[in-house]
Amino acid sequence: MSTSSIAPETGPVLDVIPLGGLGEFGMNMLLVAWEDTAILIDAGAMFPGPELPGVDLVIPHLEGLAERVGRLTAVVLTHGHEDHIGALPYVWPLLDGPVYGTPLTLALVGPKLEEHGLNPADRLCEIAPGDTVTAGAMELEFIRVTHSIPDCVAVAIHTPAGVLVHTGDYKFDQTPLDGEPLDVQRFAELGRSGVLALFGDSTNIERPGFTGSERDVVPGLDEVFSHATGKIVVAAFSSSLHRIQIVVDLAVQHGRKLVFAGRGVLQNTEIAERLGHLRLPAGLRIRESEIGGYAARDIVCVTTGSQGEPRAALSRIAVDDHRHIGLEPDDVVVFSARAIPGNRRAIGRVMDQVARRGAQLVDGERSPVHVSGHGSAEELKLMLSLVKPRHFVPMHGEYRYLAEHARVAARVTGGHTTVLLAEDGDVIRLAPGPGRIEGRIATGRALMDGTRSAEVGADVLRQRRHLAADGVVVPVIAVSRDGLVEGIPDVVTRGMVIDARTGALLETLPAMAADVIRAAGPDQRIDPAALTEHVRRELQRVFRKQAGRRPLVLPVIMEI
């Protein structure tokens, strides 16, 4: 029989579409669709780099999601890190059903929704490892995994076409602080029963061996506490609650008072303490304003700012701009977090500022004060061996990490697993027929401005970069009702480098602006918008030709 006469595969379609997280660290978001049932696994965001001025959050574009499925049956959140929950407020308008998550995850999500004026009401549904819920034509099963934050789960999605397993973020920590290790037995049971596809975390695929337990940082931090003669400042992710608990325990052991600094740390620790994930003995914690009443050797601070964020507590402390916390030569600053790719320059800048204040620096490269929350290569191999999937899709990481995970999977499974190396927007069709990548949907990144829902468009971003590069020039020109220039125009500049060429040009610019208006046509003179655009265009051309600069020119024309 010829190939052309073979009937195409028919029947209901099972599609899985990554909207973010495949090709970058962050924005983790995976759509699973079967007929009228559409489940979103995670709704993550990503923090912007310095190349995106004024952008506060980066999330996946959601237009393709809206066009593809219309409305979502449910959202599942694997854990409470920002790269898995930060975009939920923007997904919320597309959601018809519940949001499933563990108690800690949902407690971290609630304030985000309220900041956007959204009322979660009874839409946030708590689950626990071992629970199963029904969402449309699918059954969702939650499996305990260990990570750097409590209350994490993987998800087994039981569809009519087969079982899909989404690992979430995980490592095989045999001695977790909360005593709740990854459920190896359940992953093995699913592997024996048959798994259609595994979607696996690739973050640490390039690290050989096994990731250490969270308890492995205790000796390194204990050494800092034992030798520090001044105050200790520990910079960590505000959601690294296991790490914060270790600092709490060491503060008790070494007789130091504990201070939390930074909005994220304050909010997350309050939630974690309320839910029993953080144990703070009575009398241990003091407020920032009370530091002055204690000797420096009796204080330990846990702060935000491990990634060099300019507005975080540590950045302000490092430049002596914090109201209550300063640095002295006997103090020690500990960076107890992994440097996210792209943040190294910002982190280095904060480290330099700390060093200028004479404080000692300790980080994970020089001392064992940090351990990853993601499994290394041998753990990722172990997950593949347990689950034995028919198909495997690497996720969570830049493309080279996905590609390496794909190569490792091919070796581990001996060719018995079909590896599908996908990117954001690829449609992974798992039924009917063999698994394959079947086209793409529109995807990309949406740049968000603060807690508002407004997106930073390409034009706005281009203008911000323009301002950052060449500054702004504001000619203020008074004109009469008949379009004649009155007096001498004023010119205000901000952010411009004044050298010989630009200085000479700025001296002649008032007269030049008046000449531009005099040369305007009659139609332009009677139309304020047209006159403003005429002045802007002509003065920008002058700057480009005479000074080789392209400042943003914003004329202000006042009719008198």
DSSP sequence for 161-206: TEEEEE--S-B--SS-TTS----HHHHHHHHHH-EEEEEEE-TBTT
- Asked if 396 is an active-site residue, the reply is no
User: In 57-164, which ranges are continuous DSSP H helix?
Assistant: 63-69, 82-85, 88-91, 103-115
Residue type, 495: G
Catalytic residue among 201, 363, 424, 426, which? 201
Token match 């800690």: residue? 104
Catalytic residue among 374, 391, 396, 534, which? 374
Q: Are 94 and 71 in contact (CB under 8 A)?
A: yes
Question: Is 436 strand, coil or helix?
Answer: strand
Q: Are 328 and 296 in contact (CB under 8 A)?
A: yes
Which candidate, 39, 167, 46, places its Cα nearest to that of 444? Answer: 46
pLDDT of residue 7: 46
Which candidate, 341, 339, 360, 152, places its Cα nearest to that of 241? Answer: 152
Residue 560 has a CB neighbour count (10 Å cut-off) of: 8
Distance CA 265, CA 244 (A): 9
- Helix%, strand%, coil% for the chain, nearest 5: 35, 25, 40
Domains in the chain, please, with CATH? 3-209+373-448 (3.60.15.10), 214-363 (3.40.50.10710), 470-559 (3.10.20.580)
Local confidence pLDDT in tens for the 560 residues of the chain: 344 444 457 889 999 999 999 999 899 999 999 999 999 999 999 887 666 656 778 899 999 999 999 899 999 999 999 999 999 999 999 999 999 999 999 999 999 999 888 988 789 999 999 999 999 999 999 999 999 999 999 999 999 999 999 999 999 999 999 999 999 999 999 999 999 999 999 999 999 999 999 999 999 999 999 999 999 999 999 999 999 999 999 999 999 999 999 999 999 999 999 999 999 999 999 999 999 999 999 999 999 999 988 889 999 999 999 999 999 999 999 999 988 777 888 899 999 999 999 999 999 888 999 999 999 999 999 999 999 999 999 999 999 999 999 999 999 999 899 999 999 999 999 999 999 999 999 998 888 775 455 555 555 556 666 566 678 888 888 888 777 788 888 888 887 777 778 888 888 888 888 888 888 877 777 777 778 888 888 888 888 888 877 788 888 888 77
Q: Are 331 and 312 in contact (CB under 8 A)?
A: no
pLDDT of residue 555: 87
Which candidate, 455, 426, 398, places its Cα nearest to that of 89? Answer: 455
Distance CA 108, CA 114 (A): 11
Residue 320's contacts (CB-CB under 8 Å, 6 or more residues apart) are: 326, 327, 357
User: In 218-327, which ranges are continuous DSSP H helix?
Assistant: 218-227, 241-254, 263-274, 313-318
- Asked if 322 is an active-site residue, the reply is no
pLDDT of residue 459: 57
pLDDT of residue 458: 57
pLDDT of residue 540: 83
Residue 555's contacts (CB-CB under 8 Å, 6 or more residues apart) are: 474, 475, 477, 513, 532, 535, 536, 539
pTM: 0.81
pLDDT of residue 209: 97
